[in-house]
Amino acid sequence: MNDEGGGGDCRCSGEAQIHCNHSSGSGSGRESGFAFVRLHHNPGSGCRFSKQHAGGRPLRQPVGGRQQQEQAREGTMAAGGADEAQAPPGAASPKPPRAFLSRRSGGPLLRWDEVPDDFVECFILSGYRRLHCTAQECLASVLQPTNETLNFWTHFIPLLLFASKFCRLLLLRGAGDLPFHHPALLPLWCYASGVLLTFTMSCTAHVFSCLSLRLRAAFFYLDYASISYYGFASTVAYYYYLLPGLSLLEPSALSRYLQQRLGWHVDCSAPIAAYSALLLPVAFALAVACTVACCKSRSEWCAYPFAIRTFVFVMPLSMACPIMLESLLFDLQGHNPTLFVYFYRRYFWLLVAAFFNVSKIPERIQPGLFDIIGHSHQLFHIFTFLSIYDQMLYVEEGLQHFLQEPPSASPTFSSTVGYMLLLILCLALVIRRFLNVQETCKHH
């Protein structure tokens, strides 16, 4: 899962300075000075990288293109060599971050000021791959220490684990004696497709995001769409495997509870029937709306994209609120302890993941130290995986109860796979629209 975006997407608060020597040739002489990189907070526009010379003159930032990057590389090598002795009195000679060492020894890594603005991540100063890498170079980079390497592996390894798990459940008779095409397994197929597609698109976006700017945007749009697709697939699994077993959705049980606790004499059959009828259509509309919001968050005008994306990622999870209400109103822990434990542990992992995604800790505390290992997006991936793993455990438990006591409403192709295919079509139209808008803006 990705929640990245450079340039206009770099939003955070706080301030940090990274000092470095700067030199430039002027005729036959050389002019040295002291420059610094400042990560500053600007209300309404968020965190921005800026460079300023000690004498007040701005330093030019390459914005892309191989010629500009080569010039930046030459300037960096010159600054790191002869100019260390020309630093101002009292200024400590800086020690380059470890990611810079690979860069200076001939590796492919670049600094934040050597890549296009859209690549720059807040508080990540080095370890960037160059723009217009080939597909072979992108694949090779997963074995090299870049700032995207662990973003890939923290989702690729879970992808393999989930693929083996769903293979056992659906193809190796892990769900009983049912054949893989049995209608009772259709919601599980939908859920499996959502989980696997989400991890696959995240891995693809992180690996191939440096092919070109247009492909980078396309991959991240697809990643946002896959997360919405997963959210709707989870709702389909809840609808058939978990919600029918809740006392909250039994009209007689809920009516009796309201009468005993509140003294209300209410027939709950109509509201519950309306909820059951509207759940999937509402979740469908929410998935499309969340994709639109995430795609819009990559625009320049968006002040807090990480917070917006985190919010819209959480919105589809609200479809599970009946399970939470069940634990508050009825004894969920007593009659279904597996669902109770894994459900709340899942939401704990989600809260931790959201914290790292929005706060940009730990790289906010020490910019440059966590460029390769340990930055917030990697932690976000790890805790997201833990949350989905717990979800899969209680969905599997719900499947076993569903097979033992089939409810009156059985899954159909149109209410499961049909919904998923229609959602794919709608999400494809959304992505196409945003890519066309982006192309139109570039031409103007």
Reported as a single tens digit per residue, the pLDDT across 316-355 is 677 888 999 999 999 899 989 999 999 999 999 999 998 9
Angstrom distance (rounded) from CA 242 to CA 323: 8
β-strand pairing of 16-26 with 29-42: antiparallel
Contact 225, 430 (CB under 8 A): yes
Q: Report the candidate in 151, 126, 129 with the shortest Cα–Cα distance to residue 140.
A: 129
What distance, in Å, lies between the first and last C-alpha atoms of the chain?
32
Give the CA angle between residues 139, 142, 145 to the nearest 5°: 135
Angstrom distance (rounded) from CA 124 to CA 409: 51
The owner of tokens 């999870």 is 317
Phi and psi for 62 in degrees, rounded to 5?
-65, 140
pLDDT in tens, 1-48: 665 544 444 444 444 444 333 333 333 333 333 333 444 443 333 454
The owner of tokens 């730990």 is 362
Contact 230, 197 (CB under 8 A): yes
| Mutual angle of helices 186-208 and 376-404, in 10-degree steps | 170
DSSP strand E in 344-402: where? none
pLDDT value at position 52? 41
Tokens of 332: 């969920």
Angstrom distance (rounded) from CA 114 to CA 103: 12
Contact 138, 210 (CB under 8 A): yes
pLDDT value at position 302? 64
CA atoms within 13 A on the CB side of 240: 26
Angstrom distance (rounded) from CA 185 to CA 169: 9
Cα dihedral 242, 247, 252, 256 in deg (nearest 10): -160
pLDDT value at position 216? 92
Tokens of 53: 């010379």
pLDDT value at position 229? 95
Task: Enumerate the domain spans of the chain.
Answer: 7-132, 138-443
Q: Chunked in runs of 10, what are the mean pLDDT values of the chain (444 residues)?
A: 52 41 36 40 42 38 42 43 38 40 52 90 93 93 95 98 93 74 93 97 96 92 94 94 91 88 85 92 92 82 69 73 91 91 94 91 94 96 96 93 82 94 96 82 54
Angstrom distance (rounded) from CA 400 to CA 174: 10
pLDDT value at position 138? 95
- Listing from the earlier edge strand, what are the strands of the sheet with 29-42? 16-26, 29-42, 46-53
pLDDT value at position 2? 64
pTM of the predicted model as reported, rounded to 2 decimal places: 0.77
Cα dihedral 337, 343, 348, 354 in deg (nearest 10): 180
The owner of tokens 């610094």 is 36
DSSP annotation string for 147-195: TTHHHHHHHHHHHHHHHHHHHHHHTSSTTSS--TT-GGGHHHHHHHHHH
Tokens of 125: 């100063």
Contact 213, 118 (CB under 8 A): yes
List the beta bridge partners of residue 182: none
390: left (phi over 0), alpha (psi -120 to 50) or beta: alpha
The owner of tokens 């002019």 is 31
